Structure 1
Amino acid sequence: MKKRTSLVLALGLTVGAVLPITAAAKAIPNNVTVTKEAKQFGKDALVNWKKGQKVPTFVHGKLSTKAHKDKDAIKQFLKENKELYQLDTDKDLTLIDVQKDELGNTHYNFVQSVQGIPVDGAQFKVHTDKAGIVTAVNGDVFPEAPTYFKGVLKANFTKDTALDKAWKSIKVTKAETETNAEAGPDGKKFEDTVEKTELVVFKKENDFYLAYKTNLQFIQPYPANWVVYMDAVNGNVLDSYNAVNDAGTGVGVLGDTKTLNTNYSGGTYYLIDTTKPMAGVIETRTAKNLSRLPGSYSVDPDNNFNATSQRADVDAHYYAGVVYDYYKNTFNRNSFDGNGATLRSTVHYGRNYNNAFWNGSQMVYGDGDGTTFTSLSGSLDVIAHELTHAVTERTAGLEYQYQSGALNESISDTFGVFLDKEDYLIGEDVYTPKKSGDALRSLSNPGLYGQPENMSGYVNTTSDNGGVHTNSGIPNKAAYLTISTLGTATAEKIYYRALTVYLSPKSNFSNARAALLASTADLYGTGSTQYNAVASAWTQVGVY
């Protein structure tokens, strides 16, 4: 953002241990999380462990020296590495499916079972490249489960009894959930109450139980998708939670009504969205005009977030979902880190705070002072801009100073335009609310807001981290020329590939030109119309 004085960037590194695959089980004691110090054990594989688990949850590298082309070969591979996973491949693992992706890689998906009963959540996957070389093994399995039980596993009551006990445990009757919905055009009535139950082996802390896993789904008297785990021996409830994701409504900063994905718990609706295919969630919190993070959850009693004080919350939540969907649907990128990390936003930060920022782990939005800004979460391109900083941090890592910093800002502006396709302006929805028609920056005409659009106007300064918000006008103009010539669909592919493949922390404007041209060559070929358009765009702004 133009008014920002700094951008807090933190490199979050997930460090895996490097271990020989056949020695890993002996090398790592139980209940220890492997860190980089474990590299002394070799470089054959990158091995990730969860504290308290006896076997690794992810092993990646060149894990085999010969090709494994079918399920029998994969099972043989697992037998050869039984010391690592401590499982009987024939008894403990059941192959569910085999999938081949667009790159030619093959993925073998297993589930762990005990006496033929699935272990809840114990999925196990083996991945090979197109040549059949095993490149990864991942999932959560529990080798201690088969030996935990004495004798034959047998429930003391039926599934019907388990269902009845589950209903009683949530203090709702099935009759209370039936709404007598009208039949649809096909004559079929909507089934508004769904019951499912299956026998599983359930792990709770360090113990295993034979349990009934029951799902109770209904919309009245409140939206619910209850998951109830019940001990199949004594009928005690081992665990239960409501996994529903509610579609609420809310009014945004500009007075528009939006549909929201919320979560219901304990009679309260939370701005928590668990509908996305991510490991975490999209959640929105409020700092209540204090300067501390992450703040309290944004909540509402009736799932209609329509109070004036909730407008910033509504937009932060809704637009975070829009940006997530964009990166997932366009580039198959799962959240900013590519691994489904939680997208957390905190609104109402500070008092009259004229700023929005990514702090290395979450988004933060001020309410503005009502003159320079209104609530900064009210603009899709602002949220896209800030979340793209997070993507840049996890990919190119562009240093936030001088030309690399100006590129960092320009990349965020450019993706803001990719998402908010209405114009080439940044922040126009929330900047100077009492004055119409202006914005923070313009990609098509940087000079409108005091930015150069050619290297002839480059500003040499030590302020603003070397002019990152000023000199970004130059690559911004190149982006405008590219988009206006090639269209958004083509330009965004070129920019994303450059960001994630070719740009590096110290890239300058010339490096950016080279990176974008290399990306264009990969996608469309050297000498293509697209290649010439990108070259022309950067030549026009004086970057060679």
Structure 2
Amino acid sequence: MRTLATIMLSFGLFAGLTAQTPMKQIPNKPFVEPKPLQIKTTPAINSGSNRLGGQWHPGTLSYVKSKDEAVRSVKVATSGSFWIDLAPNELWSSRSTIKNLLEKILPVEIQSEPWAMDWNVVSEQTDAQRITHVRVQQTLAGAPIHGQDMVLHIDKGSLRDLNGFAWTGKLPAKLPAPAPAKDAIGAAKNYLQGKDVKFQDKALFEGIQHPDDQAQLVWYPSNGKLVLAYEIDMHPNVMDHWTLFVEATTFEVLEAYSELCAIAPLQLYDLSSFKGCKEEADHAKGFEMGEMPAVVADGATVVTDQDLKGSNRTVNGYLVGSNFFMIDASRPGMYLPNQSVMPNEPSGVIWTVDAQNGSPQQTNFEIVHVTNTTNNWKNLEVSAHYNGGEAYEYFRQKFGRNSINGSGGNIISIINVTDQNDNDMDNAFWNGAAIFYGNGDVAFQPLAKGLDVAGHEMSHGVIQHTANLEYVGQSGALNESYADIFGAMIDRDDWQIGEDVVNIAVFPTGTMRDMANPNNGGSSLNDRGWQPKHMNEFQNLPETPEGDNGGVHVNSGIANKAFFNLASSVGKEKAEQIYYKALTDYLVKSSQFVDMRNAAEKAATDLHGANSTEVIAVRNAFAGVGIGAGAGEDYEEDIEVNGGDDFILATDEQQSDLYWIPPGNPNQFVKMNVPKPFSRPSFTDDGTACVYVDQNGDMIVISFDWSQGLSYQDGFLEDNPQGIWRNVVVSKDGSKIAYTTSNQRNEIFVYDFPSGANDVFVLFNPTTASGGANTGDVLYPDVMEWDYSGEYIMYDALSRIESSFGNGIEYWDISFLEAWNNDTESLGSGQIGKLFSALPENISIGNASFSKNSPYIIAFDYLETYTDIFGQEQTDYTILAANIESGEINEIYQNTTLGYPNYSRLDDKILFTYDDFGTLLLATIDLQNSNKTLPVPGTDVVLINQAQKGVWFTTGNRDFTATEDISANTRRLRVTPQPAEESITVSCESLTGNLAYTIFDLTGRSLTYGNLSQDKIITTGNLMSGTYLLQLKSESGETLNTKFVKQ
């Protein structure tokens, strides 16, 4: 051990070594059917006091453990993204390949052919702070893994940090043989034709051709597995643009979504009652020119004309022969005359063309130049052309960006576009290559009239060429939010989007969206223009075109509000620079809302320094909309520290006796005269009792009277000791026990002392598949601990995955069982959540325990097996700590055996078992004051020799009401029936008047909301099976919360 050199004490009674194995080996005994428990009266553990602790939500994290000592901290956000900070190092300068570098840091398996994992460099750029940002894409067997990309940040030659997504889960059993790409493209076309998407191949200008359809083999993550698929980029016509993932052998469409970025989600609105009330705008008239300027040769021209608002605008055109074209070739560094053939093939220009009131989805669609012989332009043409120039200048002047694609590419605007039925188009679109302007129908005037509309659509192109945020779900909402943000900054006189083009009869507030107030005068999605302004209003919509690709135009209101908060604090100039840097340097394709916060914090730090006013403003801006550092809601509430005395209970190397140890003077240990332990003792929070199973298989309870010093009495917990048990743990308040049999079964029994309720829960491994699918591969649990709410049992279990192509895979992992429901004061639903969503094949974790004062922090053992250069199997042992809410996971200690870590009373130390060349001992290591998941290096010391499996406990009472306690008010709020099916009925006496309700899942994500009806019935039929949180809110702002189970 590195510095274990103090207090070398010993029980001095024992010899011999405990065999070390890579994982726990627990003896199995024949099954004996348990008899009903007959519990002895034990006041210390069955008084049934009020539950301890506050609101707690067990979360599922992505597995992570850093492999390199340079790693300073690792955070896994709830999105599954990695955020890893490193100390100054030579990893970048000494790298042989990116793959070699990342294998030292990330928990990815080192594979050989055909499963060679690799990372391809996508881009590399150095910012004004001289930090180099390298984007890389993860590949497997040469094919990209969809959504698995990272950004590496190099400062002064050192790899400073990295962030993004990486696949660390299981690999396919074999490499499928893909069908030809052309067949997959055909299947994709058939799929879209079945969705009534129109296909047409009409030739246009050489400079305006829709790209050919492309098919690339990728690995598509689906339900925790990788599926070989074709990612198909399909352009059915000039305007439509789709992304489809098609299984590479069966052609099953795994996912399909439109990349067409509209200004408004009109499919969510019923506009039938507004037909016939179109607001007409005169967009065909220009004003008469005075004397024509003399033109002596082909080239750029300049004139002043009126736009749709009646404002005079400078129009940059181009003369070819006697015809003027709406082609702006005046921007230095953008226009490339040597690569241009005017007017049909210009390069580096701002170009406006005319669809002639035609539909790109119709076979007769044709685009023509906007041209004349007088240099006299119509209002509509001026607006569209002016908008393109303004967008170009905004990104050039603010960020030094050369056009939308960053390298001087054409900016193309298409005016006079109709919808797929050749009717007036009530929208504007970006399709990845050009902006398409409709002239409005019932909801809008001509869309080109709005500078913010144009700025929004063209900004989609900037997003496409930087982070390329996937246009679906939260990443799609971020895409839309960024487009709104830049649109509002281009037209920066207000915080509204579309105020110059809306029909006020359709949008009564006079604007389509309001970034300062996303609710925009409405109260729900039924109100046109309404958006959520906080995560507690988040909308779960289908990831289909009909569902707005998962609500990309809806939930963007949350991110919009966060930007408004930031700009209100630090000013628009600083806010837009922070957001642009976050987009270009930190966000990746699959980034979610929590990643946006992390990216903005990183960007603000780069620009203004760590913990600067701007960084604090970013944190407050996102906290104001419910986007925390690692979760949609913040449940990181600590418990009041227990002010009593603290002691340690431990056993010897042979686990033949229990010893009481005062941690301040461990040489005064006392051997207790109690039955020999088999399981590790479990204490009530006040230290008045502990329970364990002895070596005869009986449940033992020890009651303590601390007023007399070390005064205790032991006895059987059962009146009829059955001798068939392996483990027992008591809840913090002493009202319940959980226990397992000595026969290895996938079961946990629970007994409630006040009610006598008793049942068995069958354990399973939940999957990510829809419909709540699970697998029955759990063999048996071992270590258990009740959480502070008394509702969940945290446990580790051995599971086995059988295989038809080799040996099965066995592994230990950590889960949470909902064993009790405080709201109904009855046994829980039996729902199970995993600590980690997936573990690599050679990894096991277990022996978890909670922090004493932070219910969201745990410590646990981590084991990694590998084969050394001599072909011998080896095992690395590490103690890790995790913040379940933020996703932060850090290494506490590199150990030599299973540590069975346990927090001290003050959470300032962790107690653990260590193997010192064959001698087991108890040691401690100090923790940082500001972060209980980080150790203080060099503070590891021996506490006592020839001891193991210590439990740190406290002898005192504490008040837990300081934490936010759902149960404190749930007795005033009841839900029936439990479990629910199609609906629930709410009973609430303390809140009156109009009440609003919100239903959250256990991660704090809003699923549905509304106003409570007079019959107080809420529909729940659309919810999947599981446990949910119900919140009622009065008009005065008072809230009540409770939980319910959906069957």
**Under TM normalisation by the shorter chain, which class is it?**
0.5 to 0.7
Distance 1:291 1:534, change over 3 A: same
1:358 aligns with 2:438: no
- Give the residue type in structure 1 aligned to 2:415: V
- Give the residue type in structure 2 aligned to 1:318: Y
Structure 1 contact 345–364 (Cα < 8 Å) conserved: yes
**Any idea what the Cα deviations from partners look like across 1:379-425, whole Å, max 9, x if unmatched?**
11111101110011111010111100100000000111111111000
- Give the residue type in structure 1 aligned to 2:437: Y
Distance 1:433 1:251, change over 3 A: farther
Give the whole-Å Cα distance in 2 for the aligned partners of 1:356 and 1:396: 22
Give the whole-Å Cα distance in 2 for the aligned partners of 1:389 and 1:427: 16
* Deviation at residue 294 of structure 1 after TM alignment: 7.0
Distance 1:255 1:400, change over 3 A: same
Which residue in the other structure is 1:444 paired with? 516
Distance 1:461 1:221, change over 3 A: closer
Q: Identify the match of residue 273 of structure 1 among 322, 328, 332.
A: 328
- Give the residue type in structure 2 aligned to 1:456: N
1:251 aligns with 2:306: yes
Structure 1 contact 312–367 (Cα < 8 Å) conserved: no
* Deviation at residue 263 of structure 1 after TM alignment: 1.0
Give the whole-Å Cα distance in 2 for the aligned partners of 1:542 and 1:333: 32
Which residue in the other structure is 2:600 paired with? 516
* Deviation at residue 221 of structure 1 after TM alignment: 7.3
Q: Identify the match of residue 356 of structure 2 among 281, 284, 288.
A: 288
Give the whole-Å Cα distance in 2 for the aligned partners of 1:252 and 1:437: 25
Q: Secondary structure at the match of 1:459?
A: coil
Q: Secondary structure at the match of 1:303?
A: coil
Which residue in the other structure is 2:376 paired with? 304
Which residue in the other structure is 1:431 paired with? 502
**Any idea what the Cα deviations from partners look like across 1:86-111, whole Å, max 9, x if unmatched?**
xxxxxxxxxxxxxxx9889xxxxxxx
The aligned length equals 316
Structure 2 contact 380–449 (Cα < 8 Å) conserved: yes
Which residue in the other structure is 1:30 paired with? none
**Structure with larger RCO (C-alpha < 8 A, sep 6+):** 2
Q: Which runs of 5+ in 2 are unaligned?
A: 1-120, 131-155, 158-290, 337-347, 521-528, 629-1047
* Deviation at residue 255 of structure 1 after TM alignment: 2.4
Give the whole-Å Cα distance in 2 for the aligned partners of 1:319 and 1:259: 11
Which residue in the other structure is 2:550 paired with? 466
- Give the residue type in structure 2 aligned to 1:354: D
Q: Secondary structure at the match of 2:493?
A: coil
Structure 2 contact 504–510 (Cα < 8 Å) conserved: no
Give the whole-Å Cα distance in 2 for the aligned partners of 1:482 and 1:511: 16
Q: Output the aligned Cα RMSD.
A: 2.8
**Any idea what the Cα deviations from partners look like across 1:513-541, whole Å, max 9, x if unmatched?**
00000000000011111111111000010
1:263 aligns with 2:318: yes
1:500 aligns with 2:556: no
* Deviation at residue 311 of structure 1 after TM alignment: 2.1
Distance 1:102 1:398, change over 3 A: closer
* Larger relative helix fraction: 1
* Deviation at residue 431 of structure 1 after TM alignment: 1.2
Structure 1 contact 374–433 (Cα < 8 Å) conserved: no
Give the whole-Å Cα distance in 1 for the aligned partners of 2:128 and 2:541: 48
Give the whole-Å Cα distance in 2 for the aligned partners of 1:537 and 1:103: 24
Q: Identify the match of residue 617 of structure 2 among 510, 533, 536.
A: 533
1:401 aligns with 2:456: no
Moved over 4 A (4+): 101-104, 433-437
What is the correspondence of 1:370-409 to structure 2 with a 5 Å cutoff?
371-409=442-480
Determine which structure has more spread, i.e. the larger CA radius of gyration.
2
Q: 528-537 vs 252-261, which deviates more?
A: 252-261
Give the whole-Å Cα distance in 1 for the aligned partners of 2:534 and 2:430: 28
* Larger relative strand fraction: 2
Which residue in the other structure is 2:399 paired with? 331
Give the whole-Å Cα distance in 2 for the aligned partners of 1:269 and 1:361: 24
- Give the residue type in structure 2 aligned to 1:272: I
Which residue in the other structure is 1:181 paired with? none
- Give the residue type in structure 2 aligned to 1:482: L
Which residue in the other structure is 1:481 paired with? 565
- Give the residue type in structure 2 aligned to 1:387: M
Structure 1 contact 254–378 (Cα < 8 Å) conserved: yes
Give the whole-Å Cα distance in 2 for the aligned partners of 1:500 and 1:343: 20
Give the whole-Å Cα distance in 2 for the aligned partners of 1:392 and 1:256: 30
Q: Which runs of 5+ in 1 are unaligned?
A: 1-45, 47-59, 62-100, 105-129, 132-218, 227-241
* Deviation at residue 251 of structure 1 after TM alignment: 2.1
Give the whole-Å Cα distance in 2 for the aligned partners of 1:220 and 1:285: 23
- Give the residue type in structure 2 aligned to 1:495: Y
What is the correspondence of 1:47-66 to structure 2 with a 5 Å cutoff?
none
Give the whole-Å Cα distance in 1 for the aligned partners of 2:404 and 2:312: 27
Give the whole-Å Cα distance in 2 for the aligned partners of 1:450 and 1:368: 20
Which residue in the other structure is 1:90 paired with? none
Scaled by the length of structure 2, the TM-score of the pair is 0.29
Give the whole-Å Cα distance in 2 for the aligned partners of 1:294 and 1:477: 41
Structure 1 contact 249–303 (Cα < 8 Å) conserved: no
1:320 aligns with 2:388: yes
What is the correspondence of 1:120-135 to structure 2 with a 5 Å cutoff?
none
- Give the residue type in structure 2 aligned to 1:537: A
**Any idea what the Cα deviations from partners look like across 1:156-199, whole Å, max 9, x if unmatched?**
xxxxxxxxxxxxxxxxxxxxxxxxxxxxxxxxxxxxxxxxxxxx
Structure 1 contact 285–294 (Cα < 8 Å) conserved: no
Structure 2 contact 484–560 (Cα < 8 Å) conserved: yes
What is the correspondence of 1:138-287 to structure 2 with a 5 Å cutoff?
222-224=294-296, 226=297, 242=298, 244-276=299-331, 277-278=333-334, 279=336, 280-287=348-355
Q: Secondary structure at the match of 1:348?
A: strand
* Deviation at residue 511 of structure 1 after TM alignment: 0.4
Give the whole-Å Cα distance in 1 for the aligned partners of 2:569 and 2:292: 53
* Deviation at residue 464 of structure 1 after TM alignment: 0.8
Q: Secondary structure at the match of 1:288?
A: strand
- Give the residue type in structure 1 aligned to 2:446: S
Give the whole-Å Cα distance in 1 for the aligned partners of 2:596 and 2:540: 19
* Deviation at residue 245 of structure 1 after TM alignment: 1.3
Structure 1 contact 345–363 (Cα < 8 Å) conserved: yes
Give the whole-Å Cα distance in 1 for the aligned partners of 2:306 and 2:431: 27
Structure 1 contact 346–364 (Cα < 8 Å) conserved: yes
* Deviation at residue 295 of structure 1 after TM alignment: 1.3
Give the whole-Å Cα distance in 1 for the aligned partners of 2:366 and 2:485: 28
Which residue in the other structure is 1:418 paired with? 489
Distance 1:384 1:515, change over 3 A: same
**Any idea what the Cα deviations from partners look like across 1:203-230, whole Å, max 9, x if unmatched?**
xxxxxxxxxxxxxxxx997324x4xxxx
What is the correspondence of 1:72-87 to structure 2 with a 5 Å cutoff?
none
Q: Identify the match of residue 454 of structure 1 among 518, 534, 539.
A: 534
**Any idea what the Cα deviations from partners look like across 1:72-131, whole Å, max 9, x if unmatched?**
xxxxxxxxxxxxxxxxxxxxxxxxxxxxx9889xxxxxxxxxxxxxxxxxxxxxxxxx99
Q: Secondary structure at the match of 1:512?
A: helix
Give the whole-Å Cα distance in 2 for the aligned partners of 1:294 and 1:344: 15
* Deviation at residue 489 of structure 1 after TM alignment: 1.0
Give the whole-Å Cα distance in 2 for the aligned partners of 1:512 and 1:223: 51
* Deviation at residue 358 of structure 1 after TM alignment: 1.1
Structure 2 contact 351–385 (Cα < 8 Å) conserved: yes
Give the whole-Å Cα distance in 1 for the aligned partners of 2:481 and 2:463: 11
Give the whole-Å Cα distance in 1 for the aligned partners of 2:354 and 2:572: 34
- Give the residue type in structure 1 aligned to 2:603: S
Scaled by the length of structure 1, the TM-score of the pair is 0.55
Give the whole-Å Cα distance in 2 for the aligned partners of 1:258 and 1:504: 38
* Deviation at residue 250 of structure 1 after TM alignment: 2.4
Distance 1:102 1:403, change over 3 A: closer
